Amino acid sequence: MDILKKVPVREQDAKVRAKNFEEVCLGYNLEEAMEEAKRCLNCKNAKCIKGCPVSIDIPAFIQEVAAGNIEEAAKIIAESSCLPAVCGRVCPQESQCEGVCIRGIKGEPVSIGKLERFVADWSREHNIVPEKPEKTNGIKVAVIGSGPSGLACAGDLAKKGYEVTIFEALHEAGGVLVYGIPEFRLPKETVVKTEIDNVIKLGVKIETNVIIGKSITIDELFEEGFKAVFIGSGAGLPKFMGIPGENANGVFSANEYLTRNNLMKAFETDSDTPIYRGKKVAVVGGGNVAMDAARTALRLGAEVHIVYRRSQDELPARVEEVHHAIQEGVIFDLLTNPVEILVSEDGWVKGMKCVKMGLGEPDASGRRRPMEIPGSEFEMELDAVIMSLGTSPNPLISSTTEGLEVNKWKCIVADEEFGKTSKEGVFAGGDAVTGAATVILAMGAGRAGAKGIDEYLSKK
């Protein structure tokens, strides 16, 4: 065993998985997990805990894994996270816990994410479920949205004895975990459903098909006896470039493309709502969402190009996702920016006009500013384009809730520590507050909101 290197994790072969929707990463078995756990230095001043937005006691759970006490490890993780099988799969560990791991100074950091995933999967396979609190305090709290922020908030409040109801607009709970992130990265029936069921087992009720702002407003929730409300409604409104031809047939937002595949199973040949399968598809953007859309289009049989205006170093997607996309055969057209979608006479995409870009000085985001290279226009022949340029919060809730302050991007204004908004009794967190971010940050915000609500209601 080379102590400087992570124990390699088994994966489906790239050529095979590029043609199926089954999970790419196969995870560690007990032996591999124990071997990897022994690489942890069990630092006294554990930087990894500070690197984790929900402060999991990482060295403590890893020591239990090293000793083969997986149930104990699961209990330690459960104190801070209700979605460990999800986070072990999708968290950007390289910029969080693993990014500050002392083992990583000389060699590779401990594979914290894969160990978390192992513990969570082991718990599911061994039917370990959270204990429901013995009795409730009879105080009703409403949570809007069943994504990671809403689930984390609801779970923490239920543990404290509150009677929590989550109101979810869609017919299925889970937010982006079910409609955004594809099956090959995050299996729905096993992983996501089990972790949502664990939140329900704490006593949380989930009402689907309820759109707050349409079916019922926040003020009406208070009239119905809810004493506090947490808004975790995410950022589901897609952005477009505003270039000519963008409303042609065959141009999708990544959100629509992924939702139709994940939630409505459009990839299945007998689906009621099949999706248009292009032969040559461009995905514009470089984040996790772009990688997911590209790898989905690839699995539907297309030649896929990622078109991104900066270079590989600036790609915002997780390193693992970029690596997997390259392995599977996605083509990266970097330093390239679309200026027009070319449309056929019958209104369908037939190509895209692009320009080549250079990189200038760093901009406000700290990344080098992309600049057009004059005279570098060229055309790509295509039959579908997927725009993956980010999302913003839907204004439905803010426009139907008097006294709820939003900023210029329509994000709800809420304090970081407790999720407190400008409206009494209303708390918020996750993408609805920050704009599109990450699962673990949304969970952290949900937990902060639960703390804020508990403090507010205790004082009342």
Binding residues for ligand FAD, rule: CB under 6 A, are: 90-92, 144-150, 167-170, 175-176, 180-181, 211-213, 232-234, 236, 258, 288-289, 292, 318, 394, 396-397, 430-432, 436-440, 442
The first and second tokens of residue 290, run together, are 């772009």
Contact between residue 107 and residue 5 where contact means Cβ atoms under 8 Å apart: yes
Q: Which residues pair with 413 in a beta bridge?
A: none
Nearest distance from residue 347's CB to ligand FAD, in Å?
27
Mapped onto helix, strand or coil, the DSSP state of residue 176 is helix
Nearest distance from residue 400's CB to ligand FAD, in Å?
9
Mapped onto helix, strand or coil, the DSSP state of residue 317 is coil
Nearest distance from residue 222's CB to ligand FAD, in Å?
16
Cα–Cα dist 74/313, whole Å: 36
Cα–Cα dist 107/246, whole Å: 46
Nearest distance from residue 259's CB to ligand FAD, in Å?
9
Q: Which is nearer to ligand FAD, 90 or 343 (CB)?
A: 90
384 burial (CB, 10 Å; 0-12 / 13-18 / 19+) is: buried
365 burial (CB, 10 Å; 0-12 / 13-18 / 19+) is: exposed
Backbone angles phi, psi at 9, to 5 degrees: -105, 140
Q: Which is nearer to ligand FAD, 73 or 186 (CB)?
A: 186
Q: Which is nearer to ligand FAD, 400 or 422 (CB)?
A: 400
Q: At residue 419, what is the residue type?
A: G
218: number of Cβ within 10 Å: 23
Q: Which is nearer to ligand FAD, 118 or 257 (CB)?
A: 257
Contact between residue 374 and residue 368 where contact means Cβ atoms under 8 Å apart: no
Cα–Cα dist 334/136, whole Å: 55
Q: Cβ contacts of residue 132 below 8 Å, gap of 6+?
A: 201, 202, 203
417: number of Cβ within 10 Å: 9
Nearest distance from residue 151's CB to ligand FAD, in Å?
7
Nearest distance from residue 210's CB to ligand FAD, in Å?
6
Nearest distance from residue 147's CB to ligand FAD, in Å?
2
Q: Which is nearer to ligand FAD, 337 or 434 (CB)?
A: 434
* Residue among 179, 175, 142 nearest 157 (CA): 142
Q: Which is nearer to ligand FAD, 63 or 438 (CB)?
A: 438
Q: Which is nearer to ligand FAD, 84 or 234 (CB)?
A: 234
Nearest distance from residue 206's CB to ligand FAD, in Å?
10
The first and second tokens of residue 341, run together, are 């979608």
Q: Which is nearer to ligand FAD, 88 or 175 (CB)?
A: 175
Q: At residue 255, what is the residue type?
A: N
The first and second tokens of residue 118, run together, are 């192992």
Nearest distance from residue 346's CB to ligand FAD, in Å?
30
Q: Which is nearer to ligand FAD, 66 or 290 (CB)?
A: 290
